[in-house]
Structure 1
Amino acid sequence: MMFRPQASPRPAAYRPAETILSLGEPFYDEVAPARFPKALLRFRNQRWAEAVGLGDLDDTAWRDHFGRFTPLPDNLPTPLALRYHGHQFRVYNPEIGDGRGFLFAQLRDGSDRLLDLGTKGSGRTPWSRFGDGRLTLKGGVREVLATEMLEALGVNTSKSFSLIETGEALDRNDEPSPTRSAVLVRLSHSHIRIGAFQRLAYFREEEAMHRLIAYVLEHLYGEPAGKDGAERLLDQVVWRTAELAASYMAAGFVHGVLNSDNINVTGESFDYGPWRFNPNWDPGFTAAYFDHAGLYAFGRQPEAIHWDAMQLAVSLRLVSDAEPLIAILESFGDRYQAAVTDALFWRLGIKRYDDRRDADLIAAIERALRSTDTPIDRFFFDWFGGIAPAGYGEAFDEVKKLLTPHTRRKPRQHPYWSDTAPCSMLIDEVESIWTAIDAHDDWRPFETKIATIRRMGEALR
């Protein structure tokens, strides 16, 4: 397994798909979008719009499709709220599902991947429980910033496709209210979660479980189902989620809520709520104020994601023997170690040299970062290409020694590497960007930050 950083999107023609309809019952409910008083376009992801053949939409048509949810041509005629269960902070919840979002459309990109356009904040569904089905504008802004930064850092992430302010005043307990409302559209390589399999196991729906396994293998992995479909599905999920955990660590990212309903079976990160980037290599750093036990702290994310993969294996016992599933689960640690080495080396701009020496280098980097509180982004910026900079103390002597075989010639040809500081995304800057929008309706810091992030992404690629 190799860490595969996100590639640049390839332009493509519009190719609608409706593959989700082949699943039928009991996987989704038809729903209607909320009717919003306004549709103010705040963010449009033009490069990914071109990758799915929607780049030529003018702003009026864009608002019509992604603010009012007029169906796209030859696509899903009605939005679908997906059904699933999940463990939330290790407590099983059978009463969840798409509560403020729905699957709006499916299409293919320039790499022939099946992609979903899903929503966040589009109104109530049968799974909303006591929620209003809405999204705050601040939450939408934060999700755009998270996905842009993670994509630039090579993480397999959903893409924020559209953000439209909707003109409602929302009351929230965790931010000053009333606050502005929005609806987000995200582009994802499916919205099938581990929780979807948990729901089928809960209700003992064997035929539906086989159907979902076949759907994922065929449409998301390009494989036939076959008799060992459950085992091959778990194998795919284990290595993809191991890679996801590794990429979080290399990015210094803390998702905050790694519940089993927030883990996509393609290993694609999505659904950003209380996320944060870790200023330093602090394993105990948490993102969610309500994560009192540190269950999803920075250093515990591989453990948490492995635990979620375990819940998929438990669910697949409905249609598979335990022994092969256990053997696959036990491979997570080795796969994670390989992936985290690749991910950290990719961010450093260096290549593998020798397995044992590479492992020693990873351990030395972590020790040095932890013992000195060196900012994560600063370290990767300064040491890119394996070139040891001046100004780092004795704690980094071993790193310098072990890096010598990896040093590349002329690794810093992009102008980004001449900047005085790396591009970061720490909480104070996120709050500053939001304050400019909230207090003055000034979107310039937001737009400038996205341009800066994309420039860093070009340098890393």
Structure 2
Amino acid sequence: MPVSDNYKGEKAFLELGEGFADEVQAANFPQAILRYRNDRAAASVGLFELTDGEWINHFARFKPLPDNLQTPLAQRYHGHQFRNYNPDIGDGRGFLYAQMRDDQGRLMDLGTKGSGTTPYSRSGDGRLTLKGGVREIMASEMLNALGAYTSDTLSIIETGERLVRGDEPSPTRSAVMVRLTHGHIRIGTFQRHAYFSDKDRINTLIDYCLKHYYNEMPFGSPADRALLFLERVMERAAEQAADLMAAGYVHGVLNTDNINITGEIFDFGPWRLLPNMDLSFTAAYFDEQGLYAFGRQADALHWNIYQLGGALADIAEEADLKAVLAKFPSLYFTALRARLLNRMGVKAKDDQSDDAMLKLVNDYMITEKAPYERFFYDWYGGKLAETRYRKSPEEGKYLDGKYDEMRAAILSYSPRNPNFVDHQYFRNGKPCTFLIEEVEAIWNEIAHHDDWQPLYNKLDQIKIMADALSR
């Protein structure tokens, strides 16, 4: 197999020993039609040189990669789902397929979705709809472009089955997805072992995660290591909450089984990107209480970290765990400040000035129910936004006298990099959005005409935005 020189296969998960996963076999799909390969992500782990045929062999037929896991592993975990504890879940339609080092030396996982049944499938068929796979591409590429820490959708292969689903027209087309992420160990993984009072496996997991995901060589007592681990995961969760809010992304299902300990946004379900500023906006039609509404996402993640703390309660003292958990709000607001300044493309001044400006921005966006992406596009670059915001459809609102203070505050900021003004994205006159209407329109072309070009065109637009915002 022509893997690149920087391909470095790993089998680190096997260090954990028994009790963490079950060996499974992938489904035997009737077809394997390559629909999407993420060569950017593949290059980071040395898989860019695979031919399409080899790609299908590995990511639809799941032939083992060199120097890697020889059998797929369905991971064991529990989780709170909309705050109801469920001990009957685990990898029900996916598995850990391979591990490797990326070009930064990080341990990475290739995990699947829609690859067949496992011991945790319950009554499910272990399959993924093609629409679900396409939505994963959309979400991960948009979040990456907006600077959020997220998994990559590496591969989507259509599998030729007809699936029956209650939440979309059926029968519908099927697919198998491969996701590249820093890690698939979840908060729910720890909850499972706490449920069985298995302190030894919890300690083993802590040491594994500290070593492989945080570059911390385990030291001190088990309690010391548990507190260090909790703090590291909490830091990542606070950053994830800030990423969600700054991106205007509504995850929809922030359950403890959907939150990994490395802090990446992953496992995209009924996600939405915020059309207009609305703290009560929800993504999932079944979230009737608004538990995971846009404005409640930080609280949801803080609650989830408390559940991780609870899973460590037999190892560390409750008072010490609570002392760690109390740091979440300050970590979150620090991270959110940095990410919002980044979204506005400006250099920080000082915390007091930055908070004052961002409060004016927040008040404006809530009062005017501002189009989320439009606002950040119009004001990107601070003082260099003068000409752009005056050409915006929102100009009338911006020039309302009651927002003089906000305009003056934003225009007092220097751009992070003034070269952005020459980029075609900002000469285009409108932001790149990915609202539900466009998601559905793109899927409609695939579903009814097998026309993938609108999707590929949109991904090209997202790449242009990503290039502009990364300057």
Give 2:20's match in structure 1, choosing from 27, 30, 53.
27
CA deviation digits over 1:289-338, x for unaligned, max 9? Answer: 00000000000000000000000001111211112211111111001111
Say if 2:156 is the partner of 1:156. no
Secondary structure at the counterpart of residue 191 of structure 2: helix
CA distance in 2, matches of 1:191, 1:14: 20
Contact 1:98 1:127 in 2 (8 A): yes
Q: Which amino acid aligns with 1:360?
A: A
CA deviation digits over 1:228-266, x for unaligned, max 9? Answer: 111111111111110100111111000000000101111
Contact 2:188 2:256 in 1 (8 A): yes
CA deviation digits over 1:80-139, x for unaligned, max 9? Answer: 000000000000000100000000000011000100000000000000001000000000
CA distance in 1, matches of 2:100, 2:68: 8
Q: Map 1:229-240 onto structure 2 (within 5 A).
A: 229-240=225-236
Match of 2:413 in 1: 406
Secondary structure at the counterpart of residue 215 of structure 2: coil
CA distance in 2, matches of 1:153, 1:90: 29
- Pair 1:393–1:343, CA change in 2 (3 A): same
Give 1:345's match in structure 2, choosing from 337, 341, 349.
341
Contact 1:353 1:405 in 2 (8 A): no
Secondary structure at the counterpart of residue 162 of structure 1: strand
Contact 2:115 2:176 in 1 (8 A): yes
Give 1:458's match in structure 2, choosing from 447, 452, 467.
467
Kindly state the Cα deviation for residue 12 of structure 1 after the two structures are TM-superposed: 6.4
Q: Map 1:129-168 onto structure 2 (within 5 A).
A: 129-168=122-161
Q: Which amino acid aligns with 1:368?
A: Y
Kindly state the Cα deviation for residue 362 of structure 1 after the two structures are TM-superposed: 1.4
Q: Map 1:278-289 onto structure 2 (within 5 A).
A: 278-289=274-285
CA distance in 2, matches of 1:165, 1:301: 33
How many pairs are equivalent? Answer: 451
Moved more, 185-194 or 373-382: 373-382
Percent identity (aligned): 53
Q: Which amino acid aligns with 2:119?
A: P
CA distance in 2, matches of 1:345, 1:32: 47
Say if 2:215 is the partner of 1:222. yes
Say if 2:90 is the partner of 1:97. yes
Q: Which amino acid aligns with 2:18?
A: E
Say if 2:363 is the partner of 1:367. yes
Give 1:308's match in structure 2, choosing from 304, 318, 335.
304
CA distance in 2, matches of 1:105, 1:422: 37
Contact 2:379 2:410 in 1 (8 A): no
Give 2:257's match in structure 1, choosing from 254, 261, 286.
261
Kindly state the Cα deviation for residue 371 of structure 1 after the two structures are TM-superposed: 1.1
CA distance in 2, matches of 1:370, 1:314: 35
Match of 1:295 in 2: 291
- Pair 1:12–1:261, CA change in 2 (3 A): farther
Q: Map 1:306-455 onto structure 2 (within 5 A).
A: 306-386=302-382, 387-388=385-386, 389-390=389-390, 391=395, 392-394=398-400, 395-408=402-415, 409-455=418-464
Match of 1:58 in 2: 51
CA distance in 2, matches of 1:397, 1:26: 61
CA distance in 1, matches of 2:466, 2:140: 12
Kindly state the Cα deviation for residue 407 of structure 1 after the two structures are TM-superposed: 2.6
Q: Which amino acid aligns with 1:59?
A: D
CA deviation digits over 1:265-305, x for unaligned, max 9? Answer: 11111001100001011000000000000000000000000
5+ long unaligned stretches in structure 1: 1-10
Give 2:6's match in structure 1, choosing from 10, 13, 16.
13
CA deviation digits over 1:396-417, x for unaligned, max 9? Answer: 3222122233132454232211
Contact 1:384 1:411 in 2 (8 A): no
Which stretches of structure 1, 4 residues or more, deviate above 6 A after TM superposition?
Answer: none
CA distance in 1, matches of 2:52, 2:372: 39
Contact 1:156 1:268 in 2 (8 A): yes
Contact 1:12 1:110 in 2 (8 A): no
CA distance in 2, matches of 1:192, 1:90: 19
Match of 1:87 in 2: 80
Secondary structure at the counterpart of residue 168 of structure 1: strand
Q: Which amino acid aligns with 2:132?
A: G
CA distance in 2, matches of 1:245, 1:343: 11
Contact 2:420 2:468 in 1 (8 A): no
Match of 1:127 in 2: 120
5+ long unaligned stretches in structure 2: none
Moved more, 11-20 or 122-131: 11-20
The CA RMSD over aligned residues, in Å, is 1.1
Match of 1:271 in 2: 267
Taking structure 1 as the reference length, the TM-score comes to 0.96
Taking structure 2 as the reference length, the TM-score comes to 0.94
CA distance in 1, matches of 2:265, 2:82: 18
CA distance in 2, matches of 1:268, 1:244: 7
CA distance in 1, matches of 2:76, 2:421: 47
Contact 1:156 1:269 in 2 (8 A): yes
Match of 2:197 in 1: 204
- Pair 1:342–1:107, CA change in 2 (3 A): same
CA distance in 2, matches of 1:398, 1:124: 58
Moved more, 402-411 or 413-422: 402-411
